[in-house]
Structure 1
Amino acid sequence: LIMSRRRIPCLDSYLDKMVFDMHLNSLRNANVRTLWEDDVHPHYVMRRYAEFTASLIQLNVDYGDGQEAGPEGSKIQMHFEELLKSNTSIYVEELLMEHFSDLIKFVKIRASEDPSSGSSERPISVSEVEPIIKDFGSRWKAAIELMHNDVITSFSNFLCGMEILRAALTQLLLYYTRLSDCMKRIAGGSSLNKDLVSISSIMYEIRKYSRTF
């Protein structure tokens, strides 16, 4: 029906019988051993069928063909978009933990404490924060470059990869901002100001990688 609505009715049977059947037959006749690749990229067959399925769903949402038309097609699309969103969050956290684990652990466990309240059994001290700040300052650019390379290697879809990298860098900025705010509340924390990386410097790196990915 899609091709009929586009005034090319002869292609309806061609797409149904030829193109779709050829895709199915290629799966049935595939030799698993020849398909194996020692690579971290998504397998080209998986990507091929994911994009093929996404195309069919989008066509059905737009035109409808009696199979996945209308609201059902939209539900499937929304399901996968939500799945992408949730898995992106998981990937971002794992990527950041690989490169900035000490910073993230401190922010999640200690940064919300108020050093002046005296409620904590072990108040946050300069000696606790100093190694985290100095470690970040010494290698944050190199770590971001490694993250950039990880994303390029792992995601064949560059638009998707760019969004994931941007999400990771934005989350890193939020973690570091919380660390900086925490340091300001610590007695003697001003002694570490010279070791802090400015927020504008991190923002510059985010914009740079967003442009060049």
Structure 2
Amino acid sequence: MSILNKEHIQFIDNYLDNSNIIFLDIRMEMVDHVASAIESEIKAGDTRDFYYIFKDYMVKNKTILLAQNRKFTSAVDKAIGRKWIINMFSKTGLLTLVLAFTIIFLLNTYFEFVNVIKHIPLFVFIAIVVLYFIYIKKKNRRYSAIERIPFYFLATYYITDFLIKFGIRNSSFFNESVVITILISSLFITLFVTLLFTAYAYKKEYDLKFNKLS
């Protein structure tokens, strides 16, 4: 028997989908795991039909596999963190930071733009969540990685909001509280933009994998 083909992979995906593995990215990780295990059995000399090998594997491992959902979720979280850090320190991330700081600084010379920018992230966060769930309803595809990213957005918002307020209220601690506020706001925008890039990269990656199965 040859290595697993598209139909075999689709069969595994459908089985896990029917087993209530609703997140596409988590399911794809499990599909890869199961496919690799079955291919190992084939390479070891098991000449039975794929469906018999798959049936025996799931009888032995389904409970353990489904119980390891947290393991696959943790792997996704680590991947998000790695990709986010890479994006933050990329040329695009650094350029975003410089441009954000420059634009806010120039705008602040004409009016109190800092007081406006502080409230923008929360509205953008809400807009992104709403748009994502509209996308889910339209495409019927849920991604654990993307649905967990809003928690990073929210955490980033509260941390930077605290730092901005701390800088304003403790001007004796920060000699240039306005500059610090602009810098923190610029940093938030950079974190926000790089998280958007990360979310988009995940969407593109898993859409491509999903379309290959379709």
Structure 1 length normalisation: TM-score? 0.34
Structure 2 length normalisation: TM-score? 0.34
Task: Identify the structure with bigger relative contact order (alpha carbons < 8 Å, sequence gap 6+).
Answer: 2
Determine which structure has more spread, i.e. the larger CA radius of gyration.
1
> Which structure carries more helix by proportion?
2
